[in-house]
């Protein structure tokens, strides 16, 4: 009995089953190349159903073959690019090592700056994508399709924002909000933008309108509550922040804001509960620092030191925490330890000014010193790092 073979459609050579290419001419082997109705003149005039099925299989096989070839070429290109990238990185690292040996560059600092730049570029790309999504949502939320002036303003404004012309872009969006004062998506975007910029009055204006349109918007409640707290409206702030935690669950920003409001009223038990909830929702150096400030204010120095050391363990460059440790040692008469802590705080360049303030003998922690506060700085006492952390956590919370 003869062995079953797969005959080449080009040279008709017999090939064993399972072989992809003809052993004689190298043609890729397929079941059917062309239908029988094309190869022969059929008397019946129509090919059988079996021939139709084979024709379809042949067509699919041919397409799959082409796709496989393209994927193989694409994979080969990717591998070459990856190899070139590897060689380029190896060359750059070798150059950095050579320059570092000659004392011309600091390799660790350069690596850090490079990573920061990559993260910044990625964040900008993500922000551009998010803005485009918001633009489409703003236009989709407009009243009817005939308001061409509104559409023109929105499109031009977002184009300006992408080109880093923020002032002009936001002015156009403000005009668009006047045309359609009930566009909740636009109002929320305006409020969020000014929250990032720290302009709490504008935050209250736009987010207040947005919340009236959608009362259960947790993200708007959070941002508006923090703005109300900074603007000196504690009752409204507590209402909004409580609503945030009730509807949206734990949030560092909401619990911290509530804790700061209770501390201002000297309701220390409620404040401690909220600060602990803030730490539980986001175990960060800033959360430990806040508890350290809280316990220092109550003269519970051992607990304050415990949290401050945890903050420094998480971030050795936390100058405010180091400076507060210096204050604790100073209050307890441990002069040498106090001097070392102040020196460590002063070594952090970006926090040198706050370290000097502490060395001058501040009587209380700036976070809870109500006599020093300026409008818009109630929540953080002017602490820039804490303000940045609070803003970042608030913007991340309940993000769509």
Overall average pLDDT of the 80-101 stretch: 83
Which pLDDT does position 372 carry in this prediction? 47
Q: Is the pLDDT of residue 42 over 80?
A: no
- N- to C-terminal Cα distance for the chain? 70
Overall average pLDDT of the 269-278 stretch: 94
Q: What is the pLDDT of residues 129-153, one digit of tens each?
A: 888 899 999 888 877 665 788 889 9
Beta carbons of 225 and 389 less than 8 angstroms apart: no
- The contacts of residue 234 (CB under 8 Å, 6+ apart) are 228, 261, 264, 265
Which pLDDT does position 360 carry in this prediction? 37
Q: Name the percent of the chain in helix, strand, coil, to the closest 5.
A: 70, 0, 25
Q: What is the pLDDT of residues 50-89, one digit of tens each?
A: 666 766 777 777 778 788 888 888 898 889 888 888 888 7
Instruction: Look up residue 91 and give its two tokens.
Output: 């060359």
- The contacts of residue 268 (CB under 8 Å, 6+ apart) are 262, 298
Instruction: Look up residue 290 and give its two tokens.
Output: 């806040």
Residue 101's pLDDT band, with cuts at 50, 70 and 90, is confident
Query: What one-character-per-residue DSSP string does 191-237 give?
Result: HHHHHHHT-HHHHHHHHHHHHHHSTT-HHHHHHHHHHHHHTT-HHHH
Q: How far apart are CA 254 and CA 238, in angstroms?
A: 9
Which pLDDT does position 310 carry in this prediction? 95
Q: How far apart are CA 5 and CA 14, in angstroms?
A: 6
Q: Is the pLDDT of residue 342 over 60?
A: yes
Which pLDDT does position 351 carry in this prediction? 44
Look at 11 and 209; give whichever has higher pLDDT: 209
Alpha-carbon torsion, ordered 313, 315, 317, 320, to 10 deg: -80
Q: Is the pLDDT of residue 122 over 90?
A: no
Q: How far apart are CA 253 and CA 258, in angstroms?
A: 9
* DSSP three-state, residue 44: coil
Give the mean pLDDT of the chain.
82
Instruction: Look up residue 205 and give its two tokens.
Output: 């204006």
Q: How far apart are CA 370 and CA 204, in angstroms?
A: 22
Residue 43's pLDDT band, with cuts at 50, 70 and 90, is very low
Q: How far apart are CA 294 and CA 264, in angstroms?
A: 11
Give the range among 13-22, 25-34, 36-45, 368-377 with minimum mean pLDDT: 36-45
Which pLDDT does position 12 carry in this prediction? 82
Q: Is the pLDDT of residue 19 over 70?
A: yes
Which pLDDT does position 145 carry in this prediction? 60
* Domain regions of the chain by residue span: 5-87
| CB hemisphere CA count around 294 (13 angstroms) | 29
Q: How far apart are CA 28 and CA 376, in angstroms?
A: 74
Max CA pair span of the chain: 113
Residue 157's pLDDT band, with cuts at 50, 70 and 90, is very high
Q: What is the pLDDT of residues 169-188, one digit of tens each?
A: 999 999 999 999 999 999 99
* DSSP three-state, residue 377: coil
| pTM, two decimal places | 0.69
Q: What is the pLDDT of residues 307-335, one digit of tens each?
A: 999 999 999 888 889 989 999 999 999 98
């Amino acid at each position: 009995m003869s062995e079953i073979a797969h005959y080449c459609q080009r040279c008709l050579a017999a090939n064993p089953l399972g072989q992809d290419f003809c052993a004689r001419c190298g043609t890729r082997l397929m079941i059917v190349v062309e239908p029988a109705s094309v190869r022969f003149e059929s008397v019946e005039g129509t090919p059988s159903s079996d021939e139709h099925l084979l024709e379809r299989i042949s067509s699919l096989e041919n397409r799959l073959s082409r796709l496989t070839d393209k994927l193989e070429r694409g994979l080969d290109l990717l591998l070459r690019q990856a190899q070139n990238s590897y060689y380029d990185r190896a060359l750059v690292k070798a150059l950095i090592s050579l320059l570092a040996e000659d004392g011309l560059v600091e390799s660790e600092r350069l690596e850090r700056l490079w990573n920061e730049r990559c993260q910044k570029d990625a964040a900008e790309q993500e922000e551009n994508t998010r803005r485009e999504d918001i633009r489409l949502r703003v236009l989709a939320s407009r009243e009817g399709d005939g308001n061409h002036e509104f559409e023109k303003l929105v499109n031009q404004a977002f184009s300006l924002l992408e080109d880093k012309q923020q002032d002009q872009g936001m002015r156009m969006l403000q005009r668009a909000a006047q045309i359609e004062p009930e566009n909740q998506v636009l109002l929320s975007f305006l409020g969020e933008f000014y929250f990032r910029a720290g302009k709490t009055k504008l935050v209250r204006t736009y987010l207040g309108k947005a919340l009236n349109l959608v009362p259960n918007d947790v993200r708007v409640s959070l941002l508006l509550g923090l703005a109300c707290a900074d603007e000196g409206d504690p009752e409204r702030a507590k209402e909004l922040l409580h609503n945030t935690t009730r509807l949206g669950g734990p949030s560092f920003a909401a619990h911290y804001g509530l804790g700061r409001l209770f501390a201002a009223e000297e309701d220390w038990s409620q404040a401690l509960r909220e600060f602990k909830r803030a730490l539980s929702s986001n175990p960060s150096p800033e959360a430990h620092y806040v508890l350290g400030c809280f316990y220092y204010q109550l003269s519970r120095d051992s607990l304050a030191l415990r949290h401050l050391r945890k903050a420094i363990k998480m971030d050795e460059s936390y100058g405010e925490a180091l400076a507060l440790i210096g204050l604790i040692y100073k209050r307890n008469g441990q002069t040498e330890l106090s001097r070392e802590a102040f020196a460590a705080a002063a070594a952090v360049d970006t926090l040198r000014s706050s370290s000097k303030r502490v060395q001058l003998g501040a009587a209380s922690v700036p976070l809870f010193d109500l006599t020093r506060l300026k409008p818009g700085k109630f929540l953080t006492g002017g602490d820039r790092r804490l303000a940045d952390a609070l803003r970042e956590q608030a913007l991340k919370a309940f993000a769509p």
